[in-house]
Structure 1
Amino acid sequence: MKHAVIALAAFLAVSTGFAQEKTDTVKVGNFVIIKKNASGSDSKETRIQNDDKFINIKINTDKKKKKKNLSTNWWILDLGFANYRDETNYATAVPGNAYFRQLNTAAGPVNSNSYRLNTGKSSNVNLWFFMQKLNVANHVLNLKYGAGLEMYNFRYDSRISYRKDINNMPYVFNDTVAFQKNKLYAGYLTVPVMLNIDFTPNSRKGFNMSAGVSAGYLIASRNKQESGERGKQKFKQNFDMEPWRLAAIAELGLGPVRLYGSYSLNTLQKNNTRLEQYPYAVGVRFSNW
């Protein structure tokens, strides 16, 4: 009987809570039901008292927290692989072009094999200072933008070398040394802008996708080489590289996993070099959204 009365009292407490009655105290037999609202909240707490025994019942009717229209993600890291699509016609690009030089007959002229990459060791590492997501429509359609550093390391499986002559003119040639490590580094200060579609805006475990463009400015480039004959060498120059980089970019998110891709819409080097190499990268992005 006692349990039945307690159950009835609890039922009355819940019922009166949802009905939002103004009565603060309800008495049922020997039981006293005391209701109170949490300050600044829709949550209701009910205490059932029988002599010296108490039963507390809390009804949480707080409204779901509203999503912010603008959210910021700090210090995002990308780890990926780099490569390029080489559309250069070396038969017409090399002859009569001072950018391509042959310093040693045995090394041969520069050709497509001179730019052969070690794809497993050519990397792309990006460090974004921040990215922001601006709600456009119901948090399903968003605008994403940010700023950061894009860093490309093109690892060559060849003897290609980048230098500048006494007149400060950049050129490339096939060296006579067999390098253990030979890579070209290019670093850009970049601003990406993307449209984002979030199919499950109220869940972090859903699917979302983004696509857009990025604009980057070349802030550093160098040719780093390592060999038994010369040791470690670094040549920090521009090497007639295109100062601006415009790229098509995309991002796919499935739960906590995010993949990114970037494809350059302009060439890596300036037009006067006659090289037509279009860098691209794919990898994993470590971010909150």
Structure 2
Amino acid sequence: MKRVIILLTGISMALTSFAQTDSTTTTSDTVRVGNMIIIKKPGKEHSGPHSSTTIIYKKKVRSTQSNVSTNWFIFDLGFTNYNDNTNYTSAAIQDPATGFAPGATEDWFKLRTGKSSNVNIWFFMQRLNVIDHVVNLKYGLGLEMNNYRYKEPIKYNTDPFTQVSMDRTTSYKKNKLAADYLTVPLMLNFNFTPNREEPFGVSVGVSGGYLYASRQKTKTDADGKKKNRDDFDLRPWKLSYIAELALGPVKLYGSIANQSIFEKGLDQTPYSVGVRFSNW
């Protein structure tokens, strides 16, 4: 019996000693800072108060991109002009009774390049992923506003029909034709850096616009500011070829119509280039 008691006492002391030894096992503190993990381990008894620190960097994994992204209220600011292929010797131009601009030459319709502006306001644009966010479909809805600023004092007369004349009787301080469109663009987008917030890429496509407003605005010494609202024989619809170039934070755009904006008389095909203020 004594032997059993002695044996049990010895086992109990051994277990107690083991438990005390095990309770002194060092523990570590872990701190996460962004994509960095800091592990601090206390030193051993003989090493004094010093401790060891291990820093581990984890690669930041980009969150899954949405297949459809929306950009609200995009602004374009640029210049507009047109290619003038009008035959100014034709009866459609020169006929005194029915011609569009009797006596006109190409110089009548030359523009002040630096003051002929194109301003676009896109209510939204969406980008739909097609192939790995590299090939996308872009589309939207917005307003195109074009101001063609004339050098010469030409005047659009609308009664009984549209006919342009040269007005040398007064001094014009401002003379422009404005044409505004409600437009839907559709482009195929190639994004060469899909993982960047400010991508590098190119987009090409077409746009269709409906002429919702047009007017000639003049400012003269005699009459001050005047606006003449009419369609001036402008086409109600405009189809354009469009492109966009994304260079990181800088984005450029361009467009050119597929035909003259006038239904008859003048053969003037407009184009615009400028800077786009957009997130992508």
How would you bin the TM-score normalised by the shorter chain? 0.7 to 0.9
Report the CA distance between 1:230 and its aligned residue.
1.6
What is the number of residues matched between the two proteins?
Answer: 250
1:95 corresponds to which residue?
94
Q: Is the CA contact 1:130–1:146 (under 8 Å) kept in the aligned structure 2?
A: yes
Deviations 1:124-165 (A, max 9, x none): 000000000111001110100000000000000001111211
Gaps of 5+ in 1: 1-26, 103-108
Cα distance in structure 2, aligned partners of 1:199 and 1:29: 57
Q: Highest CA radius of gyration, 1 or 2?
A: 2
Match of 2:229 among 227, 233, 236: 236
Query: 1:89 aligns to what SS in structure 2?
Result: coil
Cα distance in structure 2, aligned partners of 1:101 and 1:210: 39
TM-score, normalised via structure 2 length: 0.80
How high is the sequence identity, in percent, across the aligned residues? 47
State yes or no: 1:123 paired with 2:117.
yes
Q: Is the CA contact 1:128–1:149 (under 8 Å) kept in the aligned structure 2?
A: yes
Cα distance in structure 1, aligned partners of 2:139 and 2:199: 21
Matched letter for residue 64 of structure 1: R
Match of 2:267 among 254, 276, 281: 276
Report the CA distance between 1:178 and its aligned residue.
2.7
Deviations 1:6-37 (A, max 9, x none): xxxxxxxxxxxxxxxxxxxxx89663126799
Deviations 1:196-250 (A, max 9, x none): 1111111235420000000000000000001112211110111111000000000
Query: 1:208 aligns to what SS in structure 2?
Result: strand
1:207 corresponds to which residue?
200
1:31 corresponds to which residue?
26
User: What is the 5 A alignment of 1:188-207?
Assistant: 188-207=181-200
2:6 corresponds to which residue?
none
Matched letter for residue 283 of structure 1: G
| Larger mean Cα displacement after TM superposition, 184-193 or 197-206 | 197-206
Cα distance in structure 1, aligned partners of 2:98 and 2:50: 96
Deviations 1:43-98 (A, max 9, x none): 97866467999989787577430111110000000000000000000101323262
2:248 corresponds to which residue?
255
Gaps of 5+ in 2: 1-21
Query: 1:113 aligns to what SS in structure 2?
Result: helix
Cα distance in structure 1, aligned partners of 2:57 and 2:101: 81
Cα distance in structure 2, aligned partners of 1:137 and 1:146: 20
Cα distance in structure 2, aligned partners of 1:63 and 1:260: 33
Q: Is the CA contact 2:94–2:104 (under 8 Å) kept in the aligned structure 1?
A: no
Cα distance in structure 2, aligned partners of 1:120 and 1:233: 22
Query: Which ranges of 4 or more aligned residues in structure 1 deviate by more than 3 Å?
Result: 27-30, 34-37, 42-63
Cα distance in structure 2, aligned partners of 1:282 and 1:276: 20
Distance 1:200 1:63, change over 3 A: closer
Q: Is the CA contact 1:31–1:49 (under 8 Å) kept in the aligned structure 2?
A: yes
Match of 2:141 among 135, 143, 147: 147
Query: 1:215 aligns to what SS in structure 2?
Result: strand
Deviations 1:252-283 (A, max 9, x none): 0111000000000021111xx22110000000
Cα distance in structure 1, aligned partners of 2:101 and 2:84: 19
Cα distance in structure 2, aligned partners of 1:285 and 1:240: 30
Q: Is the CA contact 1:170–1:239 (under 8 Å) kept in the aligned structure 2?
A: yes
TM-score, normalised via structure 1 length: 0.78
| Larger mean Cα displacement after TM superposition, 77-86 or 199-208 | 199-208
Q: Is the CA contact 2:36–2:55 (under 8 Å) kept in the aligned structure 1?
A: no
Cα distance in structure 1, aligned partners of 2:155 and 2:269: 19
2:70 corresponds to which residue?
72
Query: 1:240 aligns to what SS in structure 2?
Result: coil
1:172 corresponds to which residue?
164
Cα distance in structure 2, aligned partners of 1:249 and 1:281: 9
Q: Is the CA contact 1:43–1:62 (under 8 Å) kept in the aligned structure 2?
A: no
